[in-house]
Amino acid sequence: MRVIASIAGWVDHRLQLAAPIRDAVEHPVPRNTASWWYVFGSAALVIFCLQLATGILLAMVYVPSADEAWHSLQALNHQVVLGWFVRALHGWGSNFMVAIVLIHMAQVFLFGAYKYPRELTWIVGVFLLLTTLGMAFTGQIMRFDQDAYWGLGIGASIASRVPLAGPTIVKLMLGGPIIAGATLSRFFTLHVFVVPGALILLVCLHVLMVLKLGINEWPMPGRLVRRATYERDYHELTQIDGAPFVPYAVWKDLFFAAFMLLAVASCAWWFGPFGPSGQPDPTIIQTVPKPDYFFLWLYALLSLLPPSLETPALIIGPVVAIAALLLLPFLSGEGEKSWKRRPIAVLTVMLTAMTLATFTHLAGDAPWSPHMNAWSGDPVPAHLLRDTTALQRQGALVFQVKQCRNCHSLGDTGAERGPRLDRVAVRLTQDQLIRQVIQGGGNMPAYGKNLSPAETTALVAFLGTLHPPGQTPAREAARDIVLGSGADPHASATK
Amino acid sequence: MSNEPVLSRRGLFMKLGILFNGVVATTLGVPIVRFLLSSVTLSRQNAYISWVPLGHVSEFPAGETRLATFRNPFVTPTDGKTADSACWVRRIEGEQFQVFAVNCAHLGCPVRWFPQSGLFMCPCHGGAYYRDGSRASGPPERGLFEYPIKVADGVVTIRAGELPTPAANAALDRERPPCA
């Protein structure tokens, strides 16, 4: 024991770090910050360390070459002992890290911790969020499969919309004319050198500022932040009602971090690694690319925005969002900290969370996407064909063969790109159906050139049968007067 | 001398040292920036684009649209399969062709051709195009990207080499004769 102490003494005589480290770990923090609400920052740091360790392990096998990356992932999944587990740890770790960073940010925002004098800590935090999302996006590209390949294509398409600089940005992003070897190499460089380097630097700054400025005290309603008095008040608080960070507060961080690590490991063990999906071969176009879960909300947004708003939203949206986050501590650097007296702050967090959750949930089903195989794969529900005429059955056939099913559902199958057609005859008269089929409109292509008159007649006859049993189909009153009632083919199709 | 000199000898040397470093850094910076901008420079010099053969005219029946693949003209040793590309070739009749990029004009997902309904459909956000590539419905604001075409000695050739995006295609659109 004495030997160890003397060696430690020898080292520290030269290094001189023991005293500052002791000061840092024993610095007094307000007692009420030893709360389970204050554990997310340290948990994010611990998950980041897990990402660093597993990332280094993966880099020992992974080959960042467009030709071989996919095969090296297969080797990791199937040949290297527990390679699948390390990949799964890294993949699930990234999901947890994004989630914990977002929760940490929401907590800091609700507790007013970004106010004076912690504005810079918040700003560094915003950049930490951006680098974390940068790691998530570049990491998805490391899994060099079809989703990664087409995801890069989507990234390039978005970048190319930037006015004037678009083509240059695309070339810089791809490293060449197309998504290929140079593209993967530069995203590998970003994912393992540039972004983690920035992340480590920013984490050090962030933690340093937390140590220098102290942990944000528990916000009490009515205790306002004022530049002139805050630091003195905070110092007094730590003297009167303070306790050393270690061990008074740290045990909760330790327990939560360990619990998070265990959660990552459990998910990794039970659910395994993510992909890779199909080979990144651009000539295989039978693919439906989808981003990883942290960008699903963006996928939904790009589908639901009106086309004319897309480019402005894509280019101006991120700039406005980042600027708002960066300006926040300057716009409300003083005043009330407690969420109990900041209803707009609470509403902002709730609205943001609900918007992201709704978009993410929607993107799971992607109702805006056509189902490319519905026309040949989904059967016409039998009850829709019962007691129908030969013409109407011919129409059902036309309906399938012309891929109407790829966008419209019947029964509960088929896509939801267009409206469900189970009750279409109640909504549209025969003439309106013909017009809609032939001319399209309202986001439907015109089929006039691709349907013969006989096919159109059959199709509309079938569509005319699609109404609930007790409900009569839509009729054109004028037609009844001119031709007499019963002339409407809808009527003859009534079951 | 009672007054301190405004600039001491050591102060001058420090400033000269900083200046010297600045000059060297700038000199070194030029090749480094040029290295980083390599892909932009080569693109501006049209080094990436050239005429690529897709196949003999007889491989594309008149009135039909078929998927063709080609090897990108600019290849690096680690590209592997990613240097292969696909495109939709429509032979209208005789030597009249249209060649479309598979990349949707919205965000670049691969569109598929459905001959029965005469539509190209995109699986991502639901863009649809007619057989002549014009926009039918969905989020795209324009028709499919088209490659310039040349038919020589019975071989269909397209001018290709860059990922079709709205920006890259603007350059190709300028090259195409107005009647095509």
Going by pLDDT thresholds of 50, 70 and 90, the confidence category of residue A495 is very low
Q: How far is CA B146 from CA A210, A285, B63, B104, in A?
A: 56, 17, 17, 11
Q: For residue B179, what pLDDT is reported? A: 45
Confidence tier at A356 by pLDDT (50, 70, 90):
very high
Cβ–Cβ of B116/A403 closer than 8 Å?
A: yes
Q: How confident is the model at residue B120 (pLDDT cuts 50, 70, 90)?
A: very high
Alpha-carbon distance of A179 to A177, in angstroms, equals 7
Encoded tokens for A205? 């700054």
Could you give the percent of chain A with pLDDT greater than 70? 98
Question: Lowest-confidence range among A223-227, A414-418, B60-64?
Answer: A414-418
Structure-token pair, residue A221 = 């309603």
Contact check, Cβ <8 Å, A283/B162: no
Domain definitions of chain B by residue range: 9-36, 51-175
Per-residue pLDDT, B172: 54
Burial class (CB in 10 A: 0-12, 13-18, 19+), A422: middle
Quote the tokens at residue A69.
Answer: 């990356």
What is the reported pLDDT for B85? 93
Q: Which helix (H) or strand (E) holds B25?
A: helix B9-36
Q: Where are the domains of chain A?
A: 2-365, 374-493
Checking if the pLDDT of B1 tops 60, the result is no
- What pLDDT score was predicted for residue B125? 86
Domain A374-493 has CATH 1.10.760.10: yes
Q: How many CA within 13 A on the CB side of residue B91?
A: 22
Q: What is the pLDDT of residue A494?
A: 41
**Do the beta carbons of residue A136 and residue A94 sit within 8 Å?**
yes
Tell me the nearest-neighbour CA distance from B156 into chain A, angstroms. 18
The rounded radius of gyration (Å) of the Cα atoms in chain B is 26
**pLDDT value at position A290?**
84
CA distance B179 to chain A (A): 24
Show residues of chain A in contact with B55, CB under 8 Å. Answer: none
Q: How many CB atoms lie within 10 A of CB A308?
A: 9
> Cα–Cα distances in Å, from A339 out to A31, A117, A125, A220, A233?
19, 18, 20, 9, 20
The pLDDT tens digits for A429-477 are 888 888 898 888 888 888 888 888 999 999 999 998 888 888 888 888 7
Q: Would you give the DSSP letter of residue B4?
A: P
Q: Rounded mean pLDDT of A240-263?
A: 92
Tell me the chain B residues in contact with residue A182 when contact means C-beta distances shorter than 8 Å: 39, 76
Length of chain A: 495
**Strand pairing of B112-114 and B119-121?**
antiparallel
Task: Choose between A122 and A421: higher pLDDT.
Answer: A122
Residue among A347, A272, A309, A269 at smallest CA distance from A106: A347
* Interchain contact A164–B (C-beta under 8 A): no
In contact, B121 and B128? CB cutoff 8 Å: yes
Of B37, B107, B161, the CB nearest to A177: B161
CATH of region A2-365: 1.20.810.10
Beta bridge partners of B56: B155
Q: Does A493 score more than 60 pLDDT?
A: no
Is the dihedral angle over the CA atoms A150, A155, A161, A163 positive or is it negative? negative
- Determine, for residues B139 and A181 on separate chains, whether the beta-carbon distance falls below 8 Å: no
**Lowest-confidence pick of A184-188, A465-469, B22-26:** A465-469
* Tokens 């940490």, located at residue: A104
d(CA B43, CA B49): 8
On the 0-12 / 13-18 / 19+ scale of CB atoms within 10 A, A471 is exposed
- Mean local confidence (pLDDT), A340-355: 95
Q: Distance between CA A371 and CA A355 in Å, rounded? A: 25
In the block, which residue shows the tokens 């770090």?
A17
The answer on pLDDT for B27 being more than 90 is yes
Confidence (pLDDT) at A485 = 60
Q: How much is the pLDDT for A272? A: 95
Q: What is the pLDDT of residues A11-28, one digit of tens each?
A: 999 999 999 999 888 888
CB of A435 within 8 Å of any CB in chain B?
Answer: no
The H-assigned helical ranges of B37-88 are 38-44
Backbone torsions φ then ψ of A450, nearest 5 degrees: -110, 10
Report the percentage of chain A scoring pLDDT > 90.
Answer: 60
Q: Which of B92, B124, B135, B173 to mutate to test the interface with A (most CBs of A within 10 A)?
A: B124
Instruction: Show Cβ contacts of residue A135 under 8 Å, excluding neighbours closer than 6 positions.
Output: A51, A94, A97, A191, A195, A196, A199
| A34: amino acid identity, one letter | A
Cβ–Cβ < 8 Å for A494, A472: yes
Confidence of residue A248 (pLDDT cuts 50, 70, 90): confident
Average pLDDT over residues A387-413: 89
In A, which residues are within 8 Å of B112 by CB distance? Answer: 285-286, 372
Gap between the terminal Cα atoms of chain B: 86
Helix (H) or strand (E) holding B107: none
CB contact, 8 Å: A359 with chain B?
no
**Inter-chain contact A288–B123, Cβ cutoff 8 Å?**
yes
Whether omega before A117 lies within 30 degrees of 0, making that bond cis, reads yes
Contact in structure between B154 and B179 (CB atoms under 8 Å): no
Smallest CA-to-CA distance from B43 within A165, A180, A177 is with A177
Which residue of A161, A168, A450 is in closest CB contact with B118? A450
For residues B34-41, give the mean pLDDT: 94
Would you tell me which CATH number, out of the four given (3.40.50.720, 2.102.10.10, 3.90.1300.10, 3.90.180.10), belongs to the domain B51-175?
2.102.10.10
- Cα separation of A27 and A248, whole Å? 11
Note the pLDDT tens digit of each residue in A257-294. Answer: 999 999 999 999 999 999 899 999 999 998 888 888 88
Sorted by sequence, the CB contacts under 8 Å of residue A271 that are 6+ apart come out as A88, A92
Taking CB atoms and an 8 Å cutoff, what residues of chain A touch B71?
none
By Cβ distance, the residue of B110, B118, B128 closest to A285 is B110
Work out whether the CA dihedral B127, B130, B133, B137 comes out positive or negative.
negative
Query: Could you tell me which chain A residue has the CA closest to the CA of B135?
Result: A445
Dig out the tokens for A427 from the structure.
């909504």
Give the tens place of pLDDT for each residue, A29-87: 998 888 899 999 999 999 999 999 999 999 999 999 999 999 999 999 999 999 999 99
- Tell me the CA distances in angstroms from B100 to A60, A317, B80, B107, B129, one per residue in order: 41, 31, 23, 15, 11
Q: What per-residue string of b and e applies to A332-341 under the rule 16 or more CB within 10 Å gives b?
A: bbeebbbbee
- What single DSSP character describes residue B144? -
Please provide the average confidence, as pLDDT, over all residues in chain A: 90
Q: Count the neighbouring beta carbons within 10 Å of the beta carbon of residue A169.
A: 18
pLDDT band of residue A92 (cuts 50, 70, 90) is very high
CB-based contact B86 A370, cutoff 8 Å = no
> Is 0.80 surpassed by the pTM of this model?
yes
pLDDT confidence of residue A175:
93
The contacts of residue B61 (CB under 8 Å, 6+ apart) are: B91
Omega cis (within 30) before A367 = no
Q: How many Å apart are CA A490 and CA A466, to the nearest integer?
A: 10
